[in-house]
Homo-oligomer: A and B are copies of this chain.
Amino acid sequence: MARQNIYDNETFFGEYRKLREREVNANNLFELPTLFSLLPDLEGKKVLDLGCGSGERCIDYLKKGAASVTGVDISEKMLAVAEAENNDPRITYLKMPMEEIGSIDDVFDVVISSLAFHYVEDFGGVVANVYRLLRDGGIFLFSQEHPLATCYSGKGDRWTRDENGKKLYANIADYCVERRNDSTWFVEGVQRYHRMFSTIVNTLCDAGFRILKMAEPYPTEELVKKYPEYYDLYHKPDFLFVKVVK
């Protein structure tokens, strides 16, 4: 089973860090505010962060009252940044692929994952382990690349444009063909797994979760006035959020 560790690629790591450090990016504008708006009350809670990367969210969760945070990531480089810049006695960083969290011998109140599951081939396996790691009534909240984004194969045109280059349509092909798409994002061969909406929902329901909320964030009108390039997201949202309860 593929366990991608693209974040330990030297070029990818450098470029990704630069992207996330830009003040204006889709993560800061859409992903993070939506993540925070969907967070359950973290006061006194034991939190597990899957795909924690450099640990900024682990610190955020402590600030929101979490009693402890366990951050899991496959990337040594990202965890080195986490240990250097976002360490705290209440945070434990674990280097492991998400596919192996079944080996964690603990129970959590809240499991959160930001933009990591589209890298995971065995979504059902991870979901089953999250269910096992949560206490009854515990909350599981994750974001991933939107299915209208993961279905992009990396080949052909992603957009149909008018003669002035304005994006008219998102070109959607093979939405119903679930597959691994290898695309270029800073480096070649970044692997994303495309799953249909219904597969994501059914995997969660079949594991025993109850869906509480979904979100597909898009910009406000004010934001589009300020950054017209983000009108794209009305055609094809970048992110999907799902919040469920055990």
CA distance A198 to B236 in the complex (A): 14
CA distance A196 to B216 in the complex (A): 8
Is A211 in contact with B205, judged by CB distance below 8 angstroms? Answer: yes
Q: Which residues of B contact A175 (CB under 8 A)?
A: 148, 170, 234-237
Is A169 in contact with B171, judged by CB distance below 8 angstroms? Answer: yes
List residues of A whose CB falls within 8 A of some B CB. 148, 156-157, 160, 168-177, 196-198, 201-202, 205, 210-216, 218, 233-237, 240
Q: Which residues of B contact A215 (CB under 8 A)?
A: 198
Q: Give the 3 A-B residue pairs with the shortest CB-CB distance, closest first.
A: A169-B171, A198-B214, A176-B218
Q: Which residues of B contact A216 (CB under 8 A)?
A: 176, 196-198
CA distance A212 to B209 in the complex (A): 10
Q: Which residues of B contact A201 (CB under 8 A)?
A: 201, 211, 213-214
Q: How far is the CB of A147 from chain B (nearest CB, A)?
A: 9
Are A173 and B177 also in contact (CB < 8 A) when A197-B216, A198-B214, A201-B211 are?
no
Count chain B CB atoms within 10 A of each CB in A157, A175, A215 and give the residue with the most: A175
Chain B residue at minimum C-beta to C-beta distance from A156 = B168
CA distance A170 to B179 in the complex (A): 18
Q: Which residues of B contact A172 (CB under 8 A)?
A: 148, 169-172, 235-236
CA distance A233 to B201 in the complex (A): 20
Chain B residue at minimum C-beta to C-beta distance from A218 = B176
Are A176 and B237 also in contact (CB < 8 A) when A168-B156, A216-B196 are?
yes
Q: Which residues of B contact A168 (CB under 8 A)?
A: 156, 171, 173
Q: Which residues of B contact A197 (CB under 8 A)?
A: 197, 214, 216
Given A169-B173, A201-B214, 5 additional A-B pairs, CB 8 A: A156-B169, A169-B172, A172-B235, A174-B235, A197-B216
Are A160 and B171 also in contact (CB < 8 A) when A176-B218, A234-B177, A237-B176 are?
yes
Is A233 in contact with B170, judged by CB distance below 8 angstroms? Answer: no
Task: For A205, give its contact among B160, B213, B218 (CB under 8 Å).
Answer: B213
Q: Which residues of B contact A196 (CB under 8 A)?
A: 216
Q: How far is the CB of A77 from chain B (nearest CB, A)?
A: 34
Q: Which residues of B contact A240 (CB under 8 A)?
A: 198
Chain B residue at minimum C-beta to C-beta distance from A158 = B169
